[in-house]
Amino acid sequence: MTKVFFKNKPAVAGALIILVMALFALSAPLSGYQPDEVDIGSYLLAPNAQHIMGTDLLGRDLFSRMAYGARISLLVGIVSVGISVAIGIFFGAIAGYYGGKIDMLIMRFVDIMLCFPSIFLILALVALFEPGIMIIMAVIGVTGWMGISRLVRAEILSLKEREFVLAARACGVSNARIITRHLIPNAAGPVLVSATLGVAAAILVESSLSFLGIGVQPPTPSWGNILMDAKASLGAAWWLTLFPGVAIFITVLGYNLLGEGLRDILLPRK
């Protein structure tokens, strides 16, 4: 599998991009500045030797804010997708394995959830709670599991009549053990691909919410609220929009490349 992965150029390129962004997030303390450290005398400085990405309207070091913001954006993406995967696997596995009325009820609930545009559903849920990192992760997670549940259901439907499942039933293995030990691991390929692509989507959603002012709240930096702060000096400080915009683009591109590469590896087209 390792050799196949390294032969897949999109997967390798995506993994390298994600690794670079992770190292960038870990490099935050190297800037020598705190992300909320205000220095009015150094406001709107262009990139220079002291501030390699420049400063914002409050004189805060942009490199520090970008690096700490990378931690937030990557954390929100990974945790929210983890929540989506857990919920999607639970409902998809139950629907696919038991079938009948249980399958019908779960799938009709999924259809109802899919009828609501996800961004409006997210906005409605965020409006009910005080915006914050935990709320954003939970909201993105509980609104993004429907596609994964359908994938898992389809895989379980094709796997549950295989010989190894029939043998497990004949040996008296419980339904819960068959689902968790035999079926879900064999359905992991499509879920992994969907989860990888889902991280990119979650980062975009978090950045959009933060840009609108209802996501991660200042002074905690995220790429979205850095872009929001940059609106006030759009014509005078190009670096305030360039660096967070490029960071979002590169990170999303990395996860999409990795997801497409994993799809070619794990789900080869016949």
In a domain, 66, yes or no: yes
Measured at the CA of 118, the angle between CA 260 and CA 244, to 5 degrees, comes to 60
Distances 190 to 11, 151, 236, 253 between C-alpha atoms, Å: 15, 7, 46, 19
Assign residue 235 the CATH number of its domain: 1.10.3720.10
What pLDDT score was predicted for residue 25?
A: 92
| Position 210 in a domain | yes
Cβ–Cβ contacts within 10 Å for residue 172, how many? 6
Asked if residue 209 belongs to a domain, the reply is yes
What is the C-alpha separation between 86 and 253, in angstroms, rounded?
24
How many angstroms separate the CA atoms of 262 and 197, rounded?
10
Q: Read off the DSSP letter of residue 39.
A: -
What does the pLDDT look like over 121-168, one tens digit per residue? Answer: 777 777 777 777 888 888 889 888 999 999 999 999 988 888 888 888
- Check: CB of residue 247 under 8 Å from CB of residue 62: no
Residues 67, 69, 71: CA angle, nearest 5 degrees: 80
For position 244, what pLDDT does the model report?
94
Amino acid at residue number 206: E
**Torsion sign across C-alpha atoms 157, 93, 133, 25:** negative
Residue 52 lies in a domain: no
Least confident range of 23-32, 43-52, 119-128, 158-167: 119-128
Residue 231, strand partner residues: none
Look at the chain and report how many structural domains it folds into.
1
pTM listed for this prediction: 0.89
- Identify whether the C-beta of residue 67 lies closer than 8 Å to the C-beta of residue 28: yes
* Most confident by average pLDDT, 27-31, 35-39, 93-97: 93-97
> Could you list the residue range(s) of the whole structural domain that residue 187 is in?
14-25+57-266
Does any domain span residue 9?
no
Q: What is the pLDDT of residues 197-255, one digit of tens each?
A: 999 999 999 998 888 888 888 888 899 999 998 888 877 889 999 999 999 999 999 99
What average pLDDT does the segment 74-81 reach? 93
Measure Cα distances from 98 to 47, 101, 177, 212, 246 in Å.
60, 9, 14, 43, 46
Tell whether 40 is covered by a domain. Answer: no
Residue 47 inside a domain? The answer is: no
Q: Residues 162-201: pLDDT tens digits?
A: 888 888 888 888 889 999 888 998 888 889 999 999 999 9
19 — pLDDT class (breaks 50, 70, 90): very high
Q: 6 lies in a domain?
A: no
User: In 3-state terms, what secondary structure has residue 55?
Assistant: strand
Looking at residue 67, its pLDDT comes to: 94
